Amino acid sequence: MSFEILQHDAGGRLGILYTRHGKVETPAICPVINPNKLVVTPKEMFEMGVQIVMTNSYIIYKDPELRDKTLRKGLHDFLDFKGPIVIDNGAYQWHVYGSIDVDALEMFNFQRSIRPDIGILLDYPTSHDMSKEKATETIKVTLENARKCVPLISKEDGILWTGVIQGGYFLDLVAKCAKEMSKLPLDLHALGEPVQFLIEYDFKKVADMLVVARANLRADRPLHLFGAGLPWTLPFFVAMGADLFDSAAYALYAKRRVYMTPAGNFTLDSLTELICECPVCTSYTLNELKKLEPELQEKLLAKHNLYVTITEMRRIREYIRHNRLWELVHVRAHTHPQLLKALVYSLRKYRKYLEKRDLFTKRRAFFWLDDFCKYRPEISRALSRVKKVFGSSTVPSGLRYTYPFYQFESYTDKLPFKLERKKVNKLEIVRTIADYQFKKKGIGEKIIPNGAEIAVSKKTGRIRSILYEEKLLFVLRAYDYILIPQIEGGKILKENIPFPRFRVIASKRGIKSIIERKCLPAKYIIGCDKELVPGEQVLIVDETDDLIAVGELKFTPEEAVLATRGFPVKVRGIAEEETI
Ligand SMILES: [Zn+2]
């Protein structure tokens, strides 16, 4: 497997895609290069910090001169780009021109012969105006094409292959195509035809297609959303589950003299000041830019547009690292009412999907920026857990310092939840947190016995840790005020929570790795409680439910079991060897 998941936030994730020409940090965007018209050269792009580019095999294939040159030199020399290159399969041209005169195997072999890092199996695009019958035919052909090519994929050439998901806006077909495509041994997937909806700013429909595809695909594979290149839409699509993007927008807009910004576009002529600090905008004045001869002006505008796009992608990754992606989505969604509409719609419609993917607790306070924030997964999940465990939607007093009920900044003075006003002692507080965290009323009483010593910070007055008979059971983490089990706490938890709840199951080699290297690689995970969400505290056990260690789940349970790269659990306390 070529993809490693690093971290979750909102419905998105941070990852690394490993290719023959190096690593790509995801989410990432591939600027599309037209070999016939290099507005910005691939070499310049590499120097600007572009990680990965995409070009079209149809254009190269149809032009004997280009074709010959590429076959002779290989794609990387031909384009003069040192990083990874994705080669598109020409299906879009099929879509636009009615048909192309190559078949799936011919296109597969051609792609392979020019040695890209990522190839795309030939699909049959479902156009937005097709009947259901015709759309069904497109997924049938797309799947048949993929099945024909798969036996010819060779590990030796190191090319990663993408299986495209078609079905248009027939969401049942999208789901079916995603499920079937997931069964094939491919590296990536792409959502085929959102382009018409993107042009119409119908972001709701794109979100529907994206979520349905993502939810039905193998969880450990990255998903590429074709054609979504407007910078201000990227945070939303990442938050809904896309890992990879491509776009020719930087060049198409430059041709129309459009100056992109992270919050909307302006025509160059309409500007009175430059509103960007990129190398183009700091080397030229607006007047100089306006007066340049058209070719150079187009090139510089394209460069500026690219800087804006890749900077937004970097910003998205940084916001994920800080657990703040929703806040960026919120800001960008106010660029256009259609995007805001899609955000509010998706938060409500895909609540369950998002609750499964978003972090259990976050390092940063929850920013309540609008009434619709009540649909955000951190709040909706916490409140439904309170209701399930305590039988009422009132948040118990014992949770008053626990995320998200305390780590909270709001634009109004009214709290979006009802907090119980009752005096509680320290023991009641930690037991309530345990009930909430391990989803069962009364479990706190079992795992934190009477007589437990509750240590308090002298500086803050907050609870720091829980000891029993001089053994450290739990630490209360400062930023989210949840229980972090130590190995002794893990032992008590194991006795009180039935298998396989709150468990990650490691293979024999996994146990060896935990003992020797204090880590649990993904390939050694053989089971995981399906009810867990990223960020929850877990018990790491072997197949016979012997406790090996305690830790924190970083992936979704599905990803943890399927992934073969990365470290789905952060291992903390490890049991003494003789007890394993
Ligand atoms: Zn600029």
Q: Report if residue 485 sits inside a domain.
A: no
Q: Are residues 185 and 319 in the same domain?
A: yes
Q: Are residues 317 and 399 in the same domain?
A: no
Q: Are residues 394 and 323 in the same domain?
A: no
Tell me the two tokens of residue 122.
């030939």
CA of 251 to the centre of ligand 1 (A): 14
User: Rounded to the nearest 10 degrees, what angle do helices 337-349 and 203-216 cross at?
Assistant: 30
- Length in residues, the chain: 580
Which residue type sits at 340? L
Contact by Cβ (8 Å): 222, 188:
yes
Final residue belonging to a domain, choices 282, 305, 333? 333
Nearest Cα to Cα of residue 49 among 439, 310, 283? 310
pLDDT, tens digit (0-9, with 9 covering 90-100), for 95-123: 666 555 678 898 899 999 999 999 999 99
CA of 519 to the centre of ligand 1 (A): 44
Cα gap 524→510, rounded to integer Å: 5
Question: Among this protein's residues, is 220 annotated catalytic?
Answer: no
Q: Are residues 79 and 101 in the same domain?
A: yes
Q: Are residues 327 and 363 in the same domain?
A: no
- Which domain CATH number covers 541? 2.30.130.10
The confidence score (pLDDT) of residue 97 equals 66
The confidence score (pLDDT) of residue 98 equals 55
Phi, psi angles (nearest 5°) of residue 475: -115, 140
CA of 264 to the centre of ligand 1 (A): 13
- Which domain CATH number covers 380? 3.90.1020
Half-sphere exposure of 314 (CA within 13 A, CB side): 10
ipTM of the complex: 1.00
The confidence score (pLDDT) of residue 101 equals 64
Q: Name 460's Cβ contacts closer than 8 Å, sequence gap at least 6.
A: none
Element containing residue 525 per DSSP (H, E): strand 525-528
Q: Report if residue 465 sits inside a domain.
A: no
CA of 52 to the centre of ligand 1 (A): 20
CA of 263 to the centre of ligand 1 (A): 13
Terminal CA-CA length for the chain: 31
Final residue belonging to a domain, choices 333, 355, 382? 333
Contact by Cβ (8 Å): 305, 250:
yes
Q: In the chain, how many domains are there?
A: 3
Element containing residue 13 per DSSP (H, E): strand 12-19
Longest dimension (CA), the chain: 83
Q: Are residues 295 and 371 in the same domain?
A: no
The confidence score (pLDDT) of residue 573 equals 87
The confidence score (pLDDT) of residue 574 equals 87
Q: Are residues 381 and 521 in the same domain?
A: no
The confidence score (pLDDT) of residue 579 equals 52
Contact by Cβ (8 Å): 15, 243:
yes
Cα gap 147→301, rounded to integer Å: 42
CA of 307 to the centre of ligand 1 (A): 7
The confidence score (pLDDT) of residue 95 equals 63
Task: Convert 23-51 to b/e letters by CB count within 10 Å (16 or more is b).
Answer: ebebbbbbbbbebeebbbebebbbebebb
Average pLDDT, the chain: 95
Q: Report if residue 266 sits inside a domain.
A: yes
CA of 248 to the centre of ligand 1 (A): 17
Final residue belonging to a domain, choices 410, 429, 450? 410
Residue ranges of the chain whose pLDDT lies below 50: 580
Q: Report if residue 510 sits inside a domain.
A: yes
The confidence score (pLDDT) of residue 514 equals 96
- Which domain CATH number covers 306? 3.20.20.105
- Cα–Cα–Cα angle for 435, 556, 192, nearest 5°? 145
Neighbours of 345 (CB within 10 A): 16
Phi, psi angles (nearest 5°) of residue 385: -70, -40
Q: Are residues 171 and 69 in the same domain?
A: yes
Q: Report if residue 537 sits inside a domain.
A: yes
CB-count burial class (<10 Å; 0-12, 13-18, 19+) for 96: exposed
Q: Are residues 282 and 251 in the same domain?
A: yes
CA of 281 to the centre of ligand 1 (A): 4
The confidence score (pLDDT) of residue 131 equals 95
Task: List strand residue ranges (DSSP E) for 43-159, in order.
Answer: 53-56, 85-88, 118-120
Give one DSSP letter per residue of 177-209, joined into a string.
HHHHHHTS--SEEEE---HHHHHTT-HHHHHHH
Q: Are residues 232 and 352 in the same domain?
A: no
Q: Are residues 12 and 146 in the same domain?
A: yes
Domain of residue 299: give its range: 3-333
Q: Are residues 47 and 91 in the same domain?
A: yes
Q: Which residue of the set 88, 208, 220, 358 is catalytic? A: 88
CB-count burial class (<10 Å; 0-12, 13-18, 19+) for 334: middle
The confidence score (pLDDT) of residue 62 equals 85
Q: Report if residue 275 sits inside a domain.
A: yes
